[in-house]
Amino acid sequence: MLSTLVSICAFLSPGAVAQEPALPHPSLPVRDNEGEVYLNDNVSGYGRWIALNPGWIERGTDTAAGSRLSLLSRVAAAEGVGEETQQTWASATAPTPVVLNYRILASGKEVLAGRESAPLGKAIALSDSRRLSEILDFNVEIASGAGILDPVVGHQHRGTSLALELQPIPGMGWQAEFALVHSTTAPGVPLQDGYAQMDGKMRLIEHIAECGLTTVVKPNKVMQVELANLGPGKVVMEFSIESAPPAGVMVLAEDLAMVAVPTLASTPSWSNYLNTWEDDSNLWSNSEGFVIFQGDNALTTANVAAAAAIAQAKPFGLALTVQTIEDGVEGDVSQLSWQGLQNHPIIFAQGTVRDALTDWDVEVASVSRVADPYFENLFSGAQGEFTGRRRADGKIEVDLDIEFSVVDLLESRQIRLAAATSGEVGYDGKVPASPAQDLAIETPEVAELKFQGTYLADEKGRIVLIRSATSLLGEATRLRLVLNMTAE
């Protein structure tokens, strides 16, 4: 019975057991044993990255056998077909893995490359990285007459990772979501905290480059991403798929046709698509984008569904140049380029992360006290998000949110958390003498420059933005951004 086959496949499927999502290595130092590391809260917390947020973390989509076979089982029961036919359907509609070629360069050197097979509908991670155990923070433990700091040990990663999820676009190619991280670490230096009870915490420094985007990859066509020479250096990614394009409409019987359109199922318009197709043909569907049409118009309507998936896959190219202008003199140009999809965000971050001692909490109990340090991750560099589209009137527009920041770790200064106390005898018994607590605190100065809004390109797909950058780069300095966009 097909139901037995479904149960067996569900048991053997990786999705049948709780698994961590496939992710690139962290840009920020993390405590890997806690679930919160998969969240991207902000650079001040214990997030995993500066900007990345792979869509498959929350989506949890998986077009593996279980869901597909469950749909086939429903149709088989309705049509009254035998087990042999059901197994033929299951074999004929199984998603075919594809062959990937990928190569990532950092400052001209190959840091990650390979050729391998990858499934459809399931995120995978390709990585060449190392991790170093380091002290991230201190918790404190306190009781009557005693106080001690409890080190929080985590991991600082360096290397290159590429995580991706592929979804078929019938007869055309694949929609691919990428999450790319390249990072290097710098030697840490001891943090001077001035606290006799705490020593040995190193300042953690990491140079990072991140990129997240969704695009269309066609067979044997190279997709390229280029990030600027910032943070860990210029990063270039080349990616292609050697396999034949995914199957279009699959005919199960004279009046039954099946199509896989997961890229449509992930959109808010999925129910609208189904309602429209139901006007022309009976259908069965699931949330993963498998649809089976039944009736005289089954093949025609299935082809309409496949065409809708192709029509939605609208490529979007974006090249960004950043240039300083000081006293009217143009400086060096930094260039970034991506290939994405219209109405899908392109995200990047490049720069340096370092932690700083920016606050102290305190814990007190009977005849004891202890100071609790707070370390904050600070990011210097550039990060941004772009979402482009071609409007109904043919003009190209982009939602842009980009920020440049420079963090200056000024000289730390001393603050007094507690004065010296002499020993005394009170109702709680003998209270020991305590020295003054004069501790160090860092007061980072952060300069930021933001460009944010929706901008309309000229007839050549070009947007030019110029803004003064005195706080960021010094007096008589401007920053010029030029965006060149192409959209089908």
Instruction: Find the mean pLDDT for residues 393-407.
Output: 95
Phi-psi region of 11 (alpha: psi -120 to 50; beta: other; left: phi over 0): alpha
Name the amino acid, one letter, at 467.
R
- At 426 the pLDDT is 58
**Which residues, other chains included, contact 143 with Cβ-Cβ below 8 Å and sequence gap of 6+?**
365, 368
Token couple for 110: 């190959």
- At 20 the pLDDT is 64
Between 143-152, 204-213, 214-223, 421-430, the lowest mean confidence (pLDDT) is in: 421-430
Q: pLDDT tens digit string along 334-390? A: 999 999 999 999 999 999 999 999 999 888 877 778 888 999 999 999 999 999 999
Query: CA 33, CA 10: separation in Å to the nearest integer?
Result: 27
Q: pLDDT tens digit string along 36-68? A: 444 444 444 457 899 998 988 877 544 445 588
Nearest alpha-carbon partner for 138 in 205, 97, 197: 197
Burial class (CB in 10 A: 0-12, 13-18, 19+), 124: middle
Instruction: Find the mean pLDDT for residues 450-470.
Output: 96
Token couple for 362: 């305190």
pTM strictly above 0.85: yes
Residue with more model confidence, 3 or 427: 427
Q: Computed over its alpha carbons, how large is the radius of gyration of the chain?
A: 28
Question: Confidence band (pLDDT; 50, 70, 90) for 325?
Answer: very high
pLDDT at 417 over 80: yes
Instruction: Find the mean pLDDT for residues 13-18.
Output: 37
Cα dihedral 30/31/32/34 (nearest 10): -130
- At 5 the pLDDT is 38
Residue identified by tokens 């190392």 is: 130
Beta carbons of 358 and 442 less than 8 angstroms apart: yes
Q: pLDDT tens digit string along 134-191? A: 998 888 888 877 788 888 888 999 999 999 999 999 999 999 999 999 999 999 889 8
% of the chain beyond a pLDDT of 70: 89
Instruction: Find the mean pLDDT for residues 81-108.
Output: 93
Token couple for 298: 């089954």
**HSE-up (13 A, CA, CB side) for residue 336:** 25
223-230 and 368-390 strand pairing: unpaired
